[in-house]
Amino acid sequence: MSTPARRALFVAPFDELADPRMLAGLAADAEAAGFDGFFLWDHIVYSAPASAVLDPWVCMAAIAMATERIVTGPLVTPIARRRPHKLARETVTLDLLAGGRTILGVGLGSDMHGELGPFGEETAPRELARLLDDGLDKVMDYWSGTFVPRPVQEPRIPIWAAARWPNRRPVRRAARLDGLFPIQLPDPEALATLRDEIAAQRAEEGLSGPYDLVVTEDQPYDPAPWEAAGATWCLRGFGSTPRLAEVRAAIADGPNG
């Protein structure tokens, strides 16, 4: 029998949801309804029809202040367009503000929506991967005590790494962290395949401790087959054009709706 996955909402802070006070209120309502997390997309700009885009970090601070239990974090922030020392300060500050309820989602990033090249950022995939790995090493070093204060969570703020199916190199990176956030999975069987590959790699490398497999699904939303395949978090998504009414309806339906 599969273990029930934790439930969360996963929203893009775009257009109808481009209001930090509204997002904080939605997160508080989601917490009251029994959800375990409220995660935000992290983009500078996005392709049409999206136009209004909020900074997720300011919004997550508002969410932390409006809630007491729910977990929050960016899914995902491309470290290649961040400064690791600044990201370390932001994540620790958010973790302190939230009392240890922060997840750091990271990814390679791409120029698909024009948020790298037009701003002078690197766009070559190989270089993005190098910057991601280098940035992760630096952030974890800063968290370890190079910077103070340290995060509330021990041994560190959990890090989930994104991987686009069927690419395996990002999966191997994620296996050394605290969770995998696979995107564009064709079905739960693909998640089960990744679950087994990660378990084998972690055993081979002597890694232990809790590990998260995080899936997101818009409509139709059915967590059961993903739980059976090993998901520890099931996120209810709303795509790049989220509607406030749809998010409120999902909250009203509750975490199992």
Q: What would the DSSP string read from start to end of 46-111? A: --TT---B--HHHHHHHHHHH-SS-EEEES-EEGGGS-HHHHHHHHHHHHHHHTS-B-EEEE---S
Structure tokens at 253: 């339906």
User: What mean pLDDT, rounded, does the chain reach?
Assistant: 96
- Band (220; pLDDT cuts 50, 70, 90): confident
pLDDT in tens, 17-47: 999 999 999 999 999 999 999 999 999 999 9
- Structural domains of the chain sorted by starting position, each given as residue range(s) with its CATH number in brackets: 6-253 (3.20.20.30)
Q: What is the pLDDT of residues 134-189, one digit of tens each?
A: 999 999 999 999 999 999 999 999 999 999 999 999 999 999 999 999 999 999 99
Q: Enumerate the β-bridge partners of residue 214.
A: 233
| Residue 94 burial (CB count, 10 A) | 23
